[in-house]
Amino acid sequence: MDLFGEEPEAPKKLEKSETIDMTTEAPPAADNGPRSVKLCYGHGDIESTLISMLMSQRPPQALIFAGPQGVGKSTMAFQIARLLLAKGSSQPENIVARRIASGAHPDLLTIERALDPVKDKRKDNVDIAEVRKVTPFLRRTASDGSWRVVIVDDADTMNRAAQNALLKILEEPPGKTLLILIAHRAGALIPTIRSRCRLIPFQSLDDAVMTRLLHESGHALSPRDIDMLIALSGGSYGRALGYIEENALEVLDKILNLLESYPAWDWPKIHAMADELARPGQEQAFQTSRALLCHIWTQIVLTKAKGRNAAAAPLDRDVFAELLQNSSLETLSKICENLKEHFDSVQRANLDVRQGVLGAFSLMRQAA
């Protein structure tokens, strides 16, 4: 007999053909990212391990899903929540799935970084006010006398007060409760939290999984677009989607064309780019440009460190081959480090974006 009081049966695999019955009374769910995704590609072994754990005589009550951002940790957390809450519920599974997708399931609580009403964006940290929502939730009786699930997204951003509050919950969790902490940097969690949770490590997605996901993303992407996104995203589907939304491939082409003139920069074009990024409403475009420039230099350094004289696409251009051939690893590493520090300073001190862009191109000339 398993933890649900039934004879164990083969774990049900969610099929892509499964659809939600829109005639039920549960509220319709919008496309809410990980809440709505029924399949978590690339992590079949983790899924099997988790199901085995939760069907054991002593299932874990707290898990840490640790790994790079955008590889499926949140998707897996909601998938496990669906399996637990549907298995222990008298309601049809599709109603449970719809309620989870719409954020309306009474036995699932999601803790995340709160919205800052002044800045109109998510706060940098999960604060204690959010974590304090867990205790009253766990005091309630589950709607079907079954499981209650708490998912803490961006758990590694919790400040010390929030972590201490969560620790008290982890010290004596109620029965039939599962807490899933999603952490991109598990080391940021205090040791006493880590010691009370089962660590589930997630790895970056391989190229085959990334290709499949991008093909099925609903975006019109050419084979070249997909190859470029895979090269840029480092096995993170979430990062790839972000790049699509930010038109990063167009931005990348502009940056690469500007870098073609290295080291004799085409300053009029660079000034035009800086002016454009400094305009109101272009904050995300600046962040995308910053990320792409840092990515380019990181790849150059890694290529040099591997002893290669030519970089992989999209950096397979003559200008980068010459740079690799004529510059030492120490020089390239220093430029990369200085570039990242420069952009961090611009962000931290809220400096002028235009001067930040111009300063970045000045720094990149150091290898000349």
Tracing tokens 């990149």 back to the chain, one arrives at 364
8 Å CB contact between 342 and 267: no
Does residue 11 surpass a pLDDT of 70?
no
CA–CA distances in Å: residue 16 to residues 13, 145, 231: 10, 30, 27
What does the pLDDT read at residue 23?
29
**Of 213, 210, 253, the residue nearest 233 (C-alpha):** 210
pLDDT reported for residue 38: 65
Buried b / exposed e along 132-160 (16+ C-beta atoms within 10 A): eebeebbeeebbeebbbbbbbbbbbbbee
| pLDDT at residue number 30 | 40
State the maximum Cα–Cα separation within the chain, in Å, rounded to a whole number. Answer: 73
Q: Is 223 exposed, middle or buried (0-12, 13-18, 19+ CB in 10 A)?
A: exposed
**pLDDT attached to residue 89:** 66
The mean pLDDT of 279-304, rounded to a whole number, is 94
Kindly state the average pLDDT of the residues 65-90.
90
Which is more confidently placed, 9 or 264? 264
Q: Which of 1-5, 79-83, 292-296, 302-306 has the lowest mean pLDDT?
A: 1-5
CB 124 within 8 A of CB 152: no
What's the chain's average pLDDT?
87
Give the span between the Cα atoms of 169 and 70, in whole angstroms: 27
Q: List CB contacts of 347: < 8 A, sequence separation 6 or more.
A: none
Pairing of strands 121-122, 115-116: antiparallel
Binned at pLDDT 50, 70 and 90, residue 319 comes out as very high
Tokens of 130: 């959010």
- pLDDT cut 70: percent of the chain above it: 89
Lookup: tokens for 143:
């709607």
What number of residues does the chain have? 368
* 85 neighbors 96 (Cβ within 8 angstroms): yes
Query: What are residue 127's phi and psi, to 5 degrees?
Result: -100, 175
Question: Using an 8 Å Cβ cutoff, are 359 and 277 in contact?
Answer: no
Among 85, 134, 76, smallest CA distance to 105 is for: 85
Percent of the chain with pLDDT over 90: 67
4 pLDDT more than 50: no
CB atoms within 10 A of CB 113: 17
Q: Where is pLDDT greater, at 146 or 15?
A: 146
Residue 166: pLDDT band with limits 50, 70, 90 = very high
- Coil, helix or strand at residue 232: helix
Q: What is the mean pLDDT of residues 16-29?
A: 33
